[in-house]
């Protein structure tokens, strides 16, 4: 359940990003299109990677039993827009929401979120419309409270 709680904190924070239009955030992938419903043209997709750190990697947060209880959470936010400007806008909204923010997760103590990587992908017209994308990776550490 802890992974779900960590992901829920991030997804809620991204969805609450101020600005117009309202932030559209997908968990893991963009859902299939629904007939009669216009798909979002500017959105974020968040993907998560969770890793338990070993005693060697995080000795200060490891119990004497050497149980791995320290969780490293990497969040890759794919910011998608119709052109370079809108994509930068989406990425900027995600950055304002996550960078230096400390997630609140029940039963855990988290570090502030840090950005560890950023990549801009070339424009893609494979789906018949121009799509621009930027991927930013954010990381935080979570230990039992």
Secondary structure class of 7 (helix, strand, coil): helix
pLDDT at 33: 74
With beta carbons less than 8 A apart as the criterion, state whether 135 and 78 touch: yes
pLDDT at position 134: 94
Q: CB count, 10 Å around CB of 136?
A: 21
pLDDT for 123: 82
Residue 10 makes CB contacts below 8 A (sequence gap 6+) with 46, 48, 73, 75, 98, 103
pLDDT of the residue at 108: 94
Tell me, what's the pLDDT at 126?
A: 67
**Tell me, what's the pLDDT at 32?**
79
Task: List the domains of the chain with CATH numbers.
Answer: 2-29+39-144 (3.30.2000.10)
Q: What is the block-wise mean pLDDT of the chain (145 residues), using blocks of 10 residues?
A: 92 94 91 70 94 72 64 96 91 97 96 96 73 94 91
Would you state the pLDDT for residue 68?
A: 66
Residue 48 to residue 132: CA distance in whole angstroms: 21
């Amino acid at each position: 359940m802890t992974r779900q709680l960590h992901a829920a904190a991030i997804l809620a924070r991204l969805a609450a990003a101020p600005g117009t239009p309202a932030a559209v955030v997908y968990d893991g992938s963009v859902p299939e299109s629904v007939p009669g419903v216009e798909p979002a043209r500017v959105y974020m997709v968040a993907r998560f990677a969770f890793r338990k750190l070993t005693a060697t990697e995080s000795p200060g947060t490891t119990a004497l039993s050497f149980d791995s209880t320290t969780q490293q959470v990497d969040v890759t936010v794919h910011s998608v827009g119709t052109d370079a400007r809108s994509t930068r806008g989406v990425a900027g909204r995600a950055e304002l929401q996550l960078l230096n923010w400390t997630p609140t997760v029940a039963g855990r103590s988290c570090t502030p979120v840090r950005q560890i990587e950023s990549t801009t992908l070339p424009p893609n017209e494979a789906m018949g419309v121009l799509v621009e994308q930027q991927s930013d990776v954010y990381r935080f550490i979570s230990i039992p409270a």
